[in-house]
Amino acid sequence: MSTKWVYFFGNGRTEGQEGNKNLAGGKGANLAEMVALGIPVPPGFTITTEACTAFYANNEQWAEGLDEQVMENLAKLEEAMGAKFGDPENPLLVSVRSGARVSMPGMMDTVLNLGLNDVTVEGLAKKTGNPRFAWDSYRRFIHMYGDVVMGVDHALFEAAIAKKRETEGVAQDNELSVEALKELVKEYKAIVKESAGVLFPDDPIEQLRGAINAVFRSWNGARAIRYRQINGIPHDWGTAVNVQCMVFGNMGETSGTGVAFTRDPSTGENVFYGEFLMNAQGEDVVAGIRTPQPISQLEQTMPEAYAELVRIYKLLEDHFKDMQDIEFTIQEGKLFLLQTRTGKRTATAAVRIAVEMVKEGLIDKKTAVMRVEPEQLDQLLHPMIDPKAKYTVLAKGLPASPGAAAGRIVFTAEEAEQWKERGEQVILVRNETSPEDIGGMHVAEGILTARGGMTSHAAVVARGMGKCCVAGCAAAMIDEEKKTLTFGKKELTEGEWITLNGSTGEVIEGQVPMVEAQVSGDLGTLLSWADEFRALGIRTNADTPHDAETALEFGAEGIGLCRTEHMFFEGDRISAVRQMIVAEDQEGRAAALAKLLPYQKGDFIGIFRAMQGKPVTVRLLDPPLHEFVPQDAETIRKLAGEMGISVESLKARIESLEELNPMLGHRGVRLGVTYPEIPAMQARAIFEAAAELTKEGVEVFPEVMIPLVGTVQELNMMRDICVEIAESVMKEYGVEFKYLIGTMIEIPRACVVADEIAKTAEFFSFGTNDLTQMTFGFSRDDAGTFLPHYIEKGILEKDPFQSLDQVGVGSLVKMGVEKGRAVRPTLKVGVCGEHGGDPASIDFFHRVGLNYVSCSPYRVPIARLAAAQANIRNPR
Amino acid sequence: MSTKWVYFFGNGRTEGQEGNKNLAGGKGANLAEMVALGIPVPPGFTITTEACTAFYANNEQWAEGLDEQVMENLAKLEEAMGAKFGDPENPLLVSVRSGARVSMPGMMDTVLNLGLNDVTVEGLAKKTGNPRFAWDSYRRFIHMYGDVVMGVDHALFEAAIAKKRETEGVAQDNELSVEALKELVKEYKAIVKESAGVLFPDDPIEQLRGAINAVFRSWNGARAIRYRQINGIPHDWGTAVNVQCMVFGNMGETSGTGVAFTRDPSTGENVFYGEFLMNAQGEDVVAGIRTPQPISQLEQTMPEAYAELVRIYKLLEDHFKDMQDIEFTIQEGKLFLLQTRTGKRTATAAVRIAVEMVKEGLIDKKTAVMRVEPEQLDQLLHPMIDPKAKYTVLAKGLPASPGAAAGRIVFTAEEAEQWKERGEQVILVRNETSPEDIGGMHVAEGILTARGGMTSHAAVVARGMGKCCVAGCAAAMIDEEKKTLTFGKKELTEGEWITLNGSTGEVIEGQVPMVEAQVSGDLGTLLSWADEFRALGIRTNADTPHDAETALEFGAEGIGLCRTEHMFFEGDRISAVRQMIVAEDQEGRAAALAKLLPYQKGDFIGIFRAMQGKPVTVRLLDPPLHEFVPQDAETIRKLAGEMGISVESLKARIESLEELNPMLGHRGVRLGVTYPEIPAMQARAIFEAAAELTKEGVEVFPEVMIPLVGTVQELNMMRDICVEIAESVMKEYGVEFKYLIGTMIEIPRACVVADEIAKTAEFFSFGTNDLTQMTFGFSRDDAGTFLPHYIEKGILEKDPFQSLDQVGVGSLVKMGVEKGRAVRPTLKVGVCGEHGGDPASIDFFHRVGLNYVSCSPYRVPIARLAAAQANIRNPR
C-alpha cells in the first residue's frame, strides 16, 4: 500500500490527523481538531509534511501517489460542497496555505480564490450578486499567484493598478469600476506572460499543482532558512499544505464575517469580545471603510448564528483550556469557523485570565504559572503612556529602562537637582552619564542619553532606580553649552517638555498623558503560586534602604548585590573620598578613610535594618578611582585647597589615575591589593554596623563580596583582612553574628580556576556583566558602534548583555559552578549581573544549579515567575 | 634494628649515600660522591632528610637513635682527623650546613668553626700560629651562632664591633688587635646572655646539637616556606644536615686556598681557569686585601698539589660531564676539595662548552642541547655595553627589548627621522609610543619611554624590530615642549648623548662604548642539533621584507604573524588611510581603499618574495581606527582640506571614534563586519600579490588570519569575502596557488566555542597577548599600576604577559586546541603572542600539541632551542 500523503477534513469527518502537528503542521492539525469537535469548518484537505520532505528527497518531484491522492480529495471536496473546479455556474474555489509544525514567518502566504479564471469569475459574480467583488477577487488572485507562485515582481502589478487609478481618476482601489477591473485582469495576465515567459494558467488543476509546489519550495526560501537557523528549527521538518474551500461573507444580508476573543484581551475579563460586519469579507474590516459592530449585536442581527457562535467559543476554550482568538464567516446563514488560535493579550489580561481559569477549575496552578510571559510583567510595574493618547515621536533610542515619564529638559545633574527643588518635573538629557550624575538621575523623572548601550551607566543605574530611561539615542544631538537638544531640524531648548517611553525607546515631543501602573491582586496571587514552584532564590540588587524596601515588597529574599561606590557620592563624603584617592601616602589615605568610616557604617545599618536578617551581599569598592575624582577646574582648585597641596600636583595625581582601558585596569580587588586600608575600612563599617544592630536585637547576615578576583591569592589577602576585623569587632562589641566571605566570579580566569578559589570563597556570585565583557572582549560602553550590526546581520541572535550568551559565557559559568562545587559541595552560588532579571538567562541559571539570582527591585516579580517556569520545565 | 639517620663520608669511605639526594640532600650526596671518587674531602657526616621529617613528626624532638648516631659519627670524625671536640691542643672544629634535595635560598647558612670556646681558641691559635685569626674566628663564630642558632639580633653584634673600631681608632675589622678581639668575644657573650637569656654554650657537643636543631627549624622558616610555595617544592621533603671538619688554608706557607673552573666560564675555552692565595682563607680572597694569583702559577708554587688538583678537576669533569666550579684548600701541603658544582657561565661559554664536549665525546647532542638556557642566547644576539666600560646610571626602567644603544636625545618621531636623515644617531624619548611613531622608532638606535610595561606598544614594536628599548622608566620626567628629559635633579636636553641597556633597563649618561654581538659558529652548530630534536615549528612575527629576511637567517620556517597595520603608517599612505576612516559613507571609504590597494599589494609582494614559498600568515587590520587618526590641529586642518570637509565635522568624526576601552572596542573582525570593504581590499592585495608572483614562478603560501573572532558567524562572513576574492583573482590572473583562511584565537569565548570555529577555520593561531588581557581582565597598558604589587606580594609568580599563565590562560589554550582538533583533526595550530618566544611558554605549547610558535626575529634562535628542549623533556 502506498503512503498516505493527504488527509481530508470537513463535515465532521477527519482522518486522524487532529493534534498531529508533526504530520499535518500546526494549521492542519488545528483545523482537523475543530472538525473533530463538531465545529463547522469549510472542508478541505492537508498534504502532509512528509510529502514535502519526500519532494526534496525526490529531486523536487512529487512522491508517487501524491497526485492521485490530491485528485481524490479534490473530488471529495467537490462532493462536500456541491461545487466543481472550473464549473461556470457554481465553481469550487479554494485557498492554499503553508503550515509547518511551528508558525514560521518567511514561508508562503495564503493564495485565496484559487480556481478563478475567465469563466468561473462569472459564476462567482452571479453567486455573490457582486460582479465588482468577483472581478476584484480575480485581479487579486492573479497578482497573488503571479507573485508567490510564478515569481513575478510584485511591483509590476502595483504599477499597473496605480496607473489604472490615475486613468480612471480615482484615489482608492475599491473605487475602480468593474470595467476597469476587467481591463486590469488582462493587463495583469500580460505582465505575467511578459515576466514569467508563460501564460497565466487558466486550468484550476494546474493552478492547484503550481500552488502546492510553491508551498513546498517556500520551505527552502532564503528567509525561511534564515529563520530556522536563528530559531534552531531542523531543516528536515518540511511544511504541510492546506487546501480549503473558500466561503464568502459577502453573499447578501444573511452573510457576514467577524473576529472575536473568548475573553477580553485587554482586561482579561471573562466576556465574549469581538466585532463583525454583515455582507462583508475579512478585508473590509481591515480596510476600515465600514465600521464593524460589537459582537454582542450579532445576537439581535442573527440570533441563531450567534447562539451557535457562543456554543462554539465556549467549546473551544473548554477544549484548548486557554483564551482563543477566532475568525468566522457566515455564508447565507451558515456559520463557519475559519481559524482558532491562542489569543494574544495584555499583561493585565494574561495575569487575570490565568488566575481566573484556575478559580474556574479549567487549569491548574502550574499551568497558570506557565501561561504568563515573565517579561510581560514589566508592563505592570511601571507607568505607561495612555494608550488613547496621540503623540509625535521625535526619535528612537534603546528601551533601556521601562516605563514612561514626562518632564522639562535639563542638561546637567546639578540643574536637575535645582529645578526639582523648585518643584519642576525634569528629564535629564546627557551624552552619557557618569557616577557624578547620580544625584541628578535620582531626582529626574527619566533619563535620555545619546550614547551607551543597554548596560551603559545610565541604563544600569536607571533600571536599579526603577526609573524610565532611553539610552543610546544616536539621533539626539546635544549641545550642553547652548543647552539645546536637536533631532534633525527639530531643536528643543532647556525647559521644554519631552516625554520618554523607556519600554519602547521612543522620545516624544511635549507632555503626553500617563496611566499609572496597576498591580492587581491577581498578580500577587500568581506570584505566590510561582513561589510554590520555583527552586531558585530571588534576591535584589539594592544600594539603599529605600531600594531594599521596594524590593522586599516585590518579594526579594535578600540582597545579592549592594554596591558601595554609589554611597561614595552622597553629600559631603565625596570630598573625603577624593582626599583618600589623591593622598600621597598611606597616612593621608588612612586619615581620609577614617572620615568615611562613620558614613559607610550608617549606610550598612540602614540596609541591614531594612533587610531584617535576610542575607545582604556587600561588594567592596569596585570602580577605578578616577571615576571619583573631579575633572572641572573649579572643583580641582577647591579640593587642592582642602588638601593643602598645589593645583598642579593635584592635577598630576588625577592625570596619573587615567587609564587607557579602565575596564581592565586598576579596580576591584586590585585596589584592595595595592591599598589594603580601603577594604579594611569597608570591612570595619560592615561589621561594626552588624555588631551594633546585633546588640539592639536586630538580626543581620552580611556577606562580604570581593570583586574582580582572578586568583585565589587575591581573595586570600582580602579574606585575611576581613576575618581579622570581623573577629576583633565581635570582641569589641561582645556579640556574635554570622557572616560569609565570598567573591564575584566575573573574570574568565576565575571560572577556569574556580576550584582553587572555592577553597577560600564561601560563596560565588557570577558578575555576568563583566564576565560577558571579557569573554567576548566587548566593552559595553563602546559596543554601540558594532553590536547593532551584529544583531542585524545575525552574527549574534541577542544582545549578550541583555540575555546571557549560554553557549560561550554560559559554558564558563557552568565550569565555574562545577569546579567550585567539586571542592566545596555546599558552595552558595548566585548571579548578580543584569542577566539575573532576564527570563531566558534565569532558565539557564536554574539548569546549571545556581542557588539564587539577583536583579533590580523592579524585576524581582519577573524573576520569581521565570524561576518558577524554569523549575516546571526542568524540575530539580 | 633502628633507622640509619646518619651517613659518614671521608678518607675514601662512604655509606652509599652518594648520588642519593632525596636522602642526603644535594650537598651531602655530592660530597659523598667526591669521596667515592677517591677525591680528598674533609671528612664529615650527613644527617638525613628523614631525620628532619621525623623531627617534625615527633613534635620537634630528635628521632630515637639520632643522638647516638651523631655521637658515633663524631667519634669517627675525631678518629679520622686525630683531633677531638674540646681538645685544648688539637681541637676538632666543624662546619654545619643545611642541604635540601634542591638548593633552597632562605634556609640556614653555614655555621663555621663550631667547636670553639675559650679553651679551644687557644689551641687554634697555636695550631695556626695566628692568634688574631683564631680570635677573629671565635668572634665570628659567636656572632654567627648567636644569630642563626640562638636568634640574637644581628644588629647588636654589628653595633658592638662598630663601637670597638671606634674606640680602637681603626677603620676595618681586620685592623683590630688580638686584645680588642678578646674583649669583643666577652662583649658578644654578654650580648647573647642579655638577648637570649641564656649563656653562650661552651660545650662543643651542646653547640653541635643546637646547630643541628637550627638547621631542622630553618626548614620551616617563613622565607623557606615562601620559597617552596613559589617553586612548588613539597613541604614534607625536609632538609639534611652536613657536619664537616674544618680545614685551614692559613696554616703557613704550605697552606692555601683557591677557586677554579674546569673551563673558562667567560669564553668556554677548554683551559683550567681560577685563582688562589697561599697562607689564606677563602674570606681573604673575597675581602680583596691581597691579590690572588692565576691558578697556573700554583704549578710553580706547589707542583704536587697542582698536579693532584689537575688530576681531580679532570676526574670531576669526566664524572659529572659538565664544567665544574670547585673550591679547594691546601692545609700543610695536603689538598682538600671543599665543593664541586656545575659552574655558571656566560652564554658564549655555555654554547662553546656544550658543542666542544660533544666533539670530545663527553656528552651526546641531546645533552648538549639541554645544557644551554634558551633565554641566555639573547645575550648573543644583540650589541652589548663593553664590559670594561665605566658609566653612570641615571635611572632604571623595564628591560623591554634587549641589546644596548647610544644616541642623541630626540622627543618626537618626526625629529628622529629628520636627525637621522642628516646622519645623526638618535634615541627616541617618549612618554609612550603609538603607531604614529613607527617611522621614528625605525630610525632610532633605541627607544626610551616613561610609561608602559613589557608589552606596551614601544616594547612590542621594539622587540619586533630587534631594537633596544627601555620602557616604563617612571623616574624619567619628559617635557616635550621644553624638550627636556629630567631624572631627579639631572636635566638633559635635546641632542645630548644617552645610552640605553635594554637587557638590564639601565638608562646611562653619555655615550658608552659597545661591543658587537658575536654569533660564533658554535651557536649555529648547537641550533642545528636543536632542530634535529624539536617537534614544534618555529615561525616569526614580521611585517616587512627586512624583518622576514633577518628571521630567515635566524632559522624561521615561516611568518606566523604579519601585522598589516604598521604598513598603514608608511609614507603617503597614512593620508589615504585617514580618508578611509573618516569617510562618511561606503563610497568615500571605497575610494580611499582603492588608493591603498597598490601599496598593500606591494607590501605583500615584498614579503612573499622574501619568504620563498614558506607560509606567511597575514593578519587583517586589527587596531581600533582611532589609532590612525591625527590628534593635532595642524594635521586635522590639512586632512579636512584634502577631504573637502569642514574642520568641525572632521573633528566630530575623530571624536566619535574615541572609546572608553579601545582594547574591547571596535577593532579586529568587528571592523570587517561593519566595513566589509576593508577586509575585501586587504584580501585582494594579498591574493593579487600571490597571483603576480605565481605568474613569475615564485612559490607563495598566504594564510589569511582573521583577528579577534569570538563567534563562527564572524569568521564565516570574512571567509566568504576572502574566498570569493581569491577565486576571482585566480581566474583574472589565470593561475592557481594554495592559501588558507584561519583565525586568531584571542578572545576567551573563542576557546570555549573552538569546536564551532574550527568548522570554518583552517588554522588557529593563539593570540596569547590579548587572550591574557581578557582572561585576567588586565589591560597591559594599565597594569603597570598594580602588576608590580602582584609579583612583589607573590599573588602572581611571573608577569603573565611575559610568561604564559599556564593554569589559567593555558587551560583555555588547551581547551581551544582540543575542541578545535575534535572537529578538524588536521587543524594547524600555532601561537603568535609574545609568549611564542618565551622558553617556559614554549614548553607548554609543545605539551598541548601546537604545530608551531611564532616570535620576533631575534627570538627565533631561542625558540628553536627551547622547542628542542621541550621535546626532549616530553617527546611527542
Distance (Å) of CA B7 to CA A554, B54, B96, B218, B236 = 77, 16, 14, 21, 21
Strand B506-509 versus strand B393-396 pairing type: antiparallel
Is residue B574 predicted with pLDDT exceeding 90?
A: no
- Cβ(B774)–Cβ(B748) below 8 Å: yes
Residue closest to A681 by CA, chosen among A601, A618, A613 = A601
pLDDT (0 to 100) of residue B400: 84
Report the alpha-carbon distance of residue A751 to residue B27 in Å, rounded: 43
Highest mean pLDDT, choosing among A268-282, A452-466, A509-523, A664-678? A664-678
The pLDDT, as a whole number, for residue B837 is 95
Q: Determine the residue of chain A that is closest to B713 in CA distance.
A: A795
Q: How many Cβ atoms are within 10 Å of A103's Cβ, its own excluded? A: 11
Write the CB contacts of B118 (distance below 8 Å, at least 6 apart in sequence).
B185, B202
Which of B705, B703, B569, B567 has the alpha carbon at shortest distance from B630? B569
Q: Does A433 touch chain B (CB under 8 A)?
A: no
B335, pLDDT greater than 80 = yes
Cα distances (Å, whole numbers) of residue B723 to A226, B200, B621, B680, B728: 22, 85, 17, 10, 8
Give the integer Cα–Cα distance in Å for B277 and B250: 9
Please, which pLDDT band fits residue A452 given cuts at 50, 70 and 90?
Answer: confident
CA-to-CA distance for A204 and A219, rounded, in angstroms? Answer: 23
Give chain A's mean pLDDT: 92
Give the pLDDT score at A227.
82
- Give how far A717 is from chain B: nearest CA, Å: 9
User: Distance (Å, rounded) from C-alpha A747 to C-alpha B320?
Assistant: 48
C-alpha to C-alpha distance for A842 and B595, rounded to whole angstroms: 51
pLDDT at A400: 84
At residue B287 the predicted structure's pLDDT band, cuts being 50, 70 and 90, is: low
Span A299-312, average pLDDT:
95
pLDDT confidence band for B21 (50 / 70 / 90): very high
Tens-digit pLDDT profile for residues A584-633:
788 889 999 999 999 999 999 999 999 999 999 999 999 999 989 888 88
Q: How far is CA B628 from the centre of its chain?
A: 35
Closest CA to B857 of B497, B487, B463, B526: B463
Candidates A776, A787, A806, A809, partner chain B, best to mutate (most B CBs within 10 A) = A776
**pLDDT tens profile B314-334:** 999 999 999 999 999 999 899
In angstroms, the CA A280 to CA B435 distance is: 72
The reported pLDDT for the residue numbered A550 is 87
**What percentage of chain A carries pLDDT values higher than 70?**
98
The closest CB to that of A749, out of B661, B783, B808, belongs to: B808
- Sort out which chain B residues have CB atoms less than 8 A from A660's CB and list them: 662-663, 779, 781-782
Distance CA A355, CA A77 (A): 43
Dump strand ranges (E) for A411-475.
Answer: 426-430, 446-449, 468-471
Contact B777 A790 (CB under 8 A): no
- Whether the per-residue pLDDT at A1 is higher than 70: the answer is no
Determine the Cα–Cα distance for residues B316 and B325; give it in Å rounded to an integer: 10
Asked whether the predicted pLDDT for residue A357 surpasses 90, the reply is yes
Give the per-residue pLDDT at A704.
98
pLDDT band at A432 (very low <50, low <70, confident <90, very high): confident
φ and ψ at residue B764, rounded to 5 degrees: -115, 140
Handedness of CA A443, A445, A450, A455 (dihedral sign): positive
Q: Are B776 and B805 in contact (CB under 8 A)?
A: yes
Chain A: nearest CA to B520, how far in angstroms?
A: 44
Which of the pair, A104 or B767, is modelled with greater confidence? Answer: B767
Closest-CA distance, A712 to chain B, in angstroms, reads 8
Query: In this predicted structure, what is the pLDDT of residue B481?
Result: 87
User: Does A456 have pLDDT greater than 80?
Assistant: no
Among A326-340, A377-391, B80-94, B537-551, where is mean pLDDT lowest? A377-391
The reply to whether residue A808 touches residue B782, judged by beta carbons under 8 angstroms, is: no
Q: What is the pLDDT of residue A37?
A: 95
A77 strand-pairing partners: none
Give the span between the Cα atoms of B528 and B538, in whole angstroms.
13
pLDDT band at B103 (very low <50, low <70, confident <90, very high): confident
Give yes or no for B284 touching A (CB within 8 A): no
Task: Give the pLDDT band of residue A130 (cuts 50, 70, 90).
Answer: confident
d(CA A62, CA A52): 8
Compare CB distances from A778 to B664, B674, B786 and report the shortest one's residue.
B664
Compute the average pLDDT of residues A785-796: 88
Give the containing element (helix H, strand E) for B769: helix B768-776
CB contact under 8 A, B752 and A775: yes
Which of B451, B627, B663, B664 would you mutate first to test chain A, the one with the most A CBs within 10 A? Answer: B664
Q: What are phi and psi of A442, to 5 degrees?
A: -65, -40
Inform me whether the pLDDT recorded for A722 exceeds 80. Answer: yes
Is pLDDT above 80 for B754? yes
Is the confidence at residue A174, as pLDDT, over 90? no
Contact state of B752 with A812 under an 8 Å Cβ cutoff = yes
**Catalytically active residues of A, by annotation:** 457, 832
Using pLDDT thresholds of 50, 70 and 90, give the confidence band for residue A517.
Answer: low
CA distance B664 to B778: 11
Q: Is A439 exposed, middle or buried (0-12, 13-18, 19+ CB in 10 A)?
A: middle
**Residue from the list B661, B753, B795 with its beta carbon closest to the beta carbon of A779:** B661
Least confident of A93-97, A411-415, A443-447, B632-636: B632-636
Alpha-carbon dihedral B555, B558, B564, B567, rounded to 10 degrees: 40
d(CA B374, CA B509): 31
C-alpha–C-alpha distance, residues A325 and A337, integer Å = 11
B776 contacts chain A (CB < 8 A) = yes
From residue B724, how far is each of A74, A328, B493, B605, B739 by CA, in Å?
49, 53, 56, 21, 13
Active site residue B751: no
Q: Is the pLDDT of residue A407 over 70?
A: yes
Output the CA torsion sign for A84, A86, A89, A95. positive
| CB–CB contact A661 B666 (8 Å) | no
ipTM of the complex in this document: 0.81
User: What's the longest Cα–Cα distance across chain A?
Assistant: 104
Whole-number pLDDT of residue B389: 81
> What proportions of chain B, in percent to the nearest 5, are helix, strand and coil?
50, 15, 35
- The predicted structure's pLDDT at residue B130: 87
Select from B661, B779, B808 the Cβ nearest to the Cβ of A781: B661
Cα–Cα distance between A283 and A824 in angstroms, integer? 65
Please state, in angstroms and rounded to a whole number, the distance separating the CA atoms of residues A790 and B671.
11
Interchain proximity B812–A748, CB inside 8 Å: yes
For A663, the closest chain B residue by CA position comes to B661
What are A472's three cell numbers? 543610546
Put simply, whether A749 touches B (Cβ < 8 Å) is yes
In Å, how far is A683's CA from the nearest CA of chain B? 21
Of the partner residues B661, B756, B809, the one whose CB lies closest to the CB of residue A664:
B661
**Of residues B213 and B282, which shows the higher confidence score?**
B213
Average pLDDT over chain B reads: 92
The x, y and z cell numbers of residue B401, run together, are: 627589548
Which residues does chain B have within 8 Å of residue A776's beta carbon, measured at their own beta carbons? Answer: 710, 747, 749
Please indicate whether, in this complex, the C-beta atoms of B781 and A660 are within 8 angstroms of each other.
yes
Which of B622, B752, B793, B805 should be substituted to probe chain A, the one whose Cβ sees the most A Cβ atoms within 10 Å? B752
C-beta atoms of A662 and B664 within 8 A: no
| The pLDDT of residue A516 | 65
Put simply, the chain A residues between 801 and 830 with a CB less than 8 A from any chain B CB are 805, 807-809, 811-812
Check residues B680 and B384 and name the one with the higher pLDDT.
B680
> Alpha-carbon distance A452 to B804, whole Å?
34
Say if residue A665's pLDDT is above 90.
yes
Q: What pLDDT shows up at residue B845?
A: 98
For residue B460, pLDDT over 80 is answered with no
Comparing B621 with B346, the larger pLDDT belongs to B621
DSSP state of B322: S
Select the more confidently predicted residue: A209 or A789.
Answer: A209
Q: Are A400 and A469 contacting, i.e. CB atoms less than 8 angstroms apart?
A: yes
A463 confidence band (pLDDT: 50, 70, 90): confident
Q: Is the pLDDT of residue B516 over 80?
A: no
**Given pLDDT bands bounded at 50, 70 and 90, which one contains residue B1?**
low
B800-842, pLDDT tens digit by residue? 999 999 999 999 999 999 999 999 999 999 999 889 999 999 9
Q: Does B477 touch chain A (CB under 8 A)?
A: no
Asked if B26 and B34 touch (Cβ cutoff 8 Å), the reply is no
